[in-house]
Every structure is written in structure tokens, then in C-alpha cells.
A and B are shown apart, each in its own frame.
Chain A
Amino acid sequence: MKPQKPAVTELELHAYVDGKLPEKRQDEVATFLATNTLESERMDAYRKQNELLHALFDPVLAEPVPAKWQTAGRYRGYLLRQVLAASVCLVAGAALGWTLRGKYGANSAGNLNFAKQAAIAHAVYTPEVRHPVEVAAEEEQHLVNWLSKRLGSPLKIPHLSSLGYELVGGRLLPSDRGPVAQFMYQDKNGQRLTLYVRTDTAADHETAFRFAQEGNVGVFYWIDRRLSYALSGEVAKEELLRVANAVYQKLNP
């Protein structure tokens, strides 16, 4: 034995107490401790600390979880409050935008608002069980004709079945720049996405995809000729982008 050289590090002693050493090393440390009373006592004390912590706090694990923490119901409540907060921001933002619009171009602020409005519309209508849409997918032709007429542009509804999303239907919504169409899709788990479409006569051009995160709702939005699109969903950004790409391709075959 070479007692002057520390055989075991402080880190290893703690790992020994926490049972995080490989088995072989665990045995070696045990052998070391058998010949070192002071360290052995210290490790016993630390192990005792862990035992007492469990004795003190493990009973918390058995406490019944309050109903408000069972995700779905609680989450809906949360979403609603978030929507209300967002609405307040929107009203304030709209008022501010109105006063500033003479002085500054409304371009970037307008885009930002567009994504926000899409997210709000998404958050308001996707939790609906009985009335998620005004016109259901069964009347798709009527839906297209009606909304095309109101928006003053021929609309197309992209079919996303190949991506696992079925059309639920659509509705007409108001916005600060006139009527907006919202189409809703749903996958087999009930996960809903909405496509928000607005006529933009001033913007006769194309933009790249842009992304905005509005609270829990992610939004990819873009302009394609005379129409602005926003795809909203509470899904991972990659998934949303995958669907946004498909929407774009289906609208531009």
C-alpha cells in the first residue's frame, strides 16, 4: 500500500454514496473505506443524509395531484387567459398603429400583427368542440365560393390528408384590413392547425416563410401574390414548417 497517495478522489467518494460508480470501482472504494475510519464515518453520515431526505419528503409523492394540474382542463384555462392577454395587446397595438400610421410605414408592424392575429384566431377557435367552423368540410365547394367572394380573390383550399391532417372546415373573420378566411385542419389525435388567409392588394409580391411564436402558438406566414397566409399550430416548429411547405406547394402546383 502507498498511503501517501490518495487512492480515491472526493468525487468518487460521493459517487460511492450515491451508488453511481461502476460495480468494480464500488468494491474498490468499499475496500478503501474499510481501512479509513474517518472517511468511512463521513460517508456513513452522507448516506444517512440521503436516507433522511427520502424519509422526510417521499410522502409527498403519495399526495393526490390536484385536478387543476391534470393538463387538459387547466391548459384550456391557461390558453383562454393567454388569448385575453393577447387581445389586450392587439387592441393597444392597433390603437398605437393607428396613431403612428401617418408617420411611419405600416409594413413590418403590419406583418407582425398579421401573425399575431392569426395566432389569436387560432387560439380562440381551435378549442371549440361544437362550433370550430362555420362551414364544415362536407360543404367544401360552398365554403370556397363563399370565402372567395368575400375576400375578393379566388381561394384554394389545400388538402393535407397526405400529411395526416383532414380539413374540418372554415369560417369568415374580421380584421383591420377587411375579411379574413380561416381554414381548420385536424389530425387523428385531435391536434388542430389553422390556415389564415387575407387579401393584400398592396403587396403583389412573394416573401419567404417567416416564423413567429405567439405564446404557445407557432405561426409560419408568407405572402404569395395577392394573398397573405399564416399557418398556426401548437406543434413543434419542424412539424409546422413541414405542413407550411406542403401548403405552399399545393397552392402553387
Chain B
Amino acid sequence: MDDTKGIATHIPQLRRYARALTGDYSAAEDLVQDTLERAWKRFGLWRSGSNLRAWLFTIMHNIFLNQVRTAPHNQNQPADHLAPHGWGSRTPEERLELEDLSKALRRLPNEQREVILLIGLEQLSYDETAKVLGIPIGTVMSRLSRGREQLRTIMNSTSGASQLKVVK
């Protein structure tokens, strides 16, 4: 039972990923809660010495996928609960950029957003990402490539600092 404490060290990262994935504060906290409960319950199935972080992300992915399947209309809502921590110190251009990205992220298909976040934000390796999502690495790369390009297109087409940036 002591070993389950190892899970706790990954909570901040699980929360960050959940927040970025759902774009909603309470949905994200619920997702973390469900993930932790399942992890505690199934801890006996985790093979000691293997990648605990990847195992936890796998659990979170499966729960998220299940939620999306059962309640697809709740997804891709506008990100209105993303608390703008420390935004006071940012310039208006920077804030616009962050808002643009936040909105663009919500417009991506879940499968592309997951890959972009696991790699770009959580810095998982391409291999780990493939294992977490249960897909071949080739699929990871094509989702990453398409997702990033789509994100760029969306951000370039929205008014805001990002467009100014390109002109500059």
C-alpha cells in the first residue's frame, strides 16, 4: 500500500494534462479523481519497475475516451475555465496569443489534441505516447503532424497577435 504513494508524485502532471485535454476546470478535476481511484484499485496490476507515469496516463486516456464515447456533446466546449494564472505579468499581445492557442486547441479533434499534449506539454517520448494511446507509432506521428499543422492554420486565420507575429 506504501507504494501507492509513488502515484501521488505524478498528480500535478496528471492535473496539467487533464486541464489541457478537457479545457474545463471541474471536468479535469473529475478526470484526475477517476484516474486516481482506478489507479489505486488496480495498483496490484502495475508491474513494479515499469513506467508508472505512462501507466497513469494510459488510465486517464481510457477514462477520457469512455467519457467522450458516452457523452460526445460535452466535448469541445469553449475553454472558459482556464484560470489565467499570472497573466497580469504578460503583455496584451502575449495574452492574445495564449487565448488564441487555447481556443484553437479546443477546435482540434480529441485524438490530435491528445498527441500534441502528451508530446508537446507532457514531453512523453513518441514511443511512450504510442503505448499510452494504444496506437502504432506511425499513427502517433501522422496525428502529431496533422494536429500541429491544423493548430497553425487555425491560429493564423484568427485575428490576434499571432497574425501580427507572422507579418513582423
Q: A residues engaging B (CB < 8 A)?
A: 10-11, 14-15, 18, 20, 42, 45-46, 49-50, 52-63, 65, 69-72, 74-75, 78, 82, 189-191, 213, 215-216, 218, 234-237
Which B residues are CB-close (under 8 A) to A71?
4-5, 7-8, 40
Which B residues are CB-close (under 8 A) to A234?
1, 43-44
| Mask of B40-55 contacts with A, CB within 8 angstroms, 1/0 | 1111100010000000
Interface residues of B toward A: which range?
35 or more
Which B residues are CB-close (under 8 A) to A63?
12, 15
Give 17 A-B pairs besides A57-B20, A57-B121 with Cβ atoms closer than 8 angstroms. A10-B141, A49-B116, A49-B152, A52-B98, A53-B101, A53-B116, A53-B117, A53-B120, A56-B102, A57-B19, A61-B16, A65-B8, A71-B40, A75-B1, A189-B2, A216-B43, A235-B44
Q: B residues engaging A (CB < 8 A)?
A: 1-2, 4-5, 7-8, 11-13, 15-16, 19-20, 32-33, 36-37, 40-44, 48, 82-83, 85-86, 94, 97-98, 101-102, 116-117, 119-121, 123, 125-126, 141, 144-145, 148-149, 151-152, 155
Asked if residues A60 and B141 are in contact (CB atoms below 8 Å), the reply is: no
- Known contacts A18-B120, A70-B8, A216-B43: does B16 contact A52 (CB below 8 Å)? no
Shortest beta-carbon distance from B20 to chain A in Å: 5
Which B residues are CB-close (under 8 A) to A74?
36, 40
Asked if residues B101 and A52 are in contact (CB atoms below 8 Å), the reply is: yes
Q: How far is the CA of A170 from the CA of B152 in the complex (A)?
A: 66
Q: How far is the CA of A54 from the CA of B40 in the complex (A)?
A: 28
Shortest beta-carbon distance from B163 to chain A in Å: 12
Asked if residues B117 and A59 are in contact (CB atoms below 8 Å), the reply is: no
Asked if residues B119 and A18 are in contact (CB atoms below 8 Å), the reply is: yes
